Structure 1
Amino acid sequence: MYLMTIMLSMFILISNLMIFISLMLNKKSTNDMEKISPFECGFDPHSSPRIVFSIHFFLITIIFLIFDVEIAILIPIIMIFDVTNLNKWFIISSFFTIILILGLYYEWNQNMLNWTN
């Protein structure tokens, strides 16, 4: 146990020493002219290059992704209708469909499906 502690402390010391040496030998500066110059356009931007991200758009995208995955799960349920036990198939598909309907109702109730916000 003692040997393992010594080895671990040596590994940590050597890795920290290598990080410190690489930071000291780094030739890059924070105000490098190539980094602060405009990229390929020839003019300085007057505003921030980043635009405000719409959370509403993100939520609609996530909802679309969830329903897309649900459709991908529903298609095999329909295709195995002929080869499975009818009672088990009905119980599983009904349970899954009820969960989907409850999720849709919850999203509708939270006004997450409004496209105009």
Structure 2
Amino acid sequence: MIDLGQYLPILLFLGVALAISCVFVFLPMGVSRLTGTHNPTAEKLSEYECGFPAFEEPRSQFDVRFYLVAILFIIFDLEAAFLFPWAVSLDFTGWSGWTTMMIFIGELAIGLIYAWKVGALEWE
């Protein structure tokens, strides 16, 4: 039989976290309404981007190069995230861990060279 009392600390933790997050979200909004600082004007509610009104349709398509650069950033960011634990555990993994990581870095280097040659990093 499962003892549901074991889950009480988890439920208590989730309840406290939910209550604190609600306080941080809704208390400032309520205080601003009560103190009179909530004063929306047309200028405050206007759309802006980089300090000036938008001059293009917001549903325009992005260039494919934007997505390629974003994907390359994610790939190399993940590489950095894998390098730190690997460097810490290198004493335990030995030569097999070192070889595996060099193969991984080599594959990423080949991918970077390919993206560079194709022109995925060029921005016009």
Q: Does 1:99 align with 2:107?
A: yes
Describe the superposition over 1:74-114 as per-residue Cα deviations: whole angstroms up to 9, x where unpaired. 221111112222x2122112111111111111111111111
Q: 1:71 aligns with which of 68, 77, 80?
A: 80
Provide structure 2 residue ranges, at least 5 long, that are not aligned to the other structure: 1-44, 47-55
CA–CA distance in 1 between the matches of 2:121 and 2:58? 30
Q: Which has the larger radius of gyration?
A: 1
**Aligned residue for 1:112?**
120
Q: Counterpart of 2:32?
A: none
Distance 1:81 1:48 in 2: 52
Matched, 1:83 2:59: no
Match of 1:36 in 2: none
Give the AA of the match of 2:96: K
Moved more, 101-110 or 53-62: 53-62
TM-score, with structure 1 as normaliser: 0.52
* 1:60 match: 69
Return the TM-score normalized by structure 2. 0.49
How large is the RMSD of aligned CA atoms in angstroms?
2.3
Query: Percentage identity across aligned positions?
Result: 32
Cα deviations by residue, 1:55-84 (Å, 9 ceiling, x for unpaired): 221211111111111111122111111222
AA of the residue aligned to 1:77: W
Q: Which runs of 5+ in 1 are unaligned?
A: 1-39, 42-46
- CA-CA distance at 1:49 after TM superposition: 4.4
**Using CA pairs below 8 Å that are at least 6 residues apart, which structure has the higher relative contact order?**
1
Q: Where does residue 22 of structure 1 map in the other structure?
A: none
The separation in 2 between residues aligned to 1:62 and 1:84, in whole angstroms, is 30
Matched residue count: 72
> Which structure carries more helix by proportion?
2
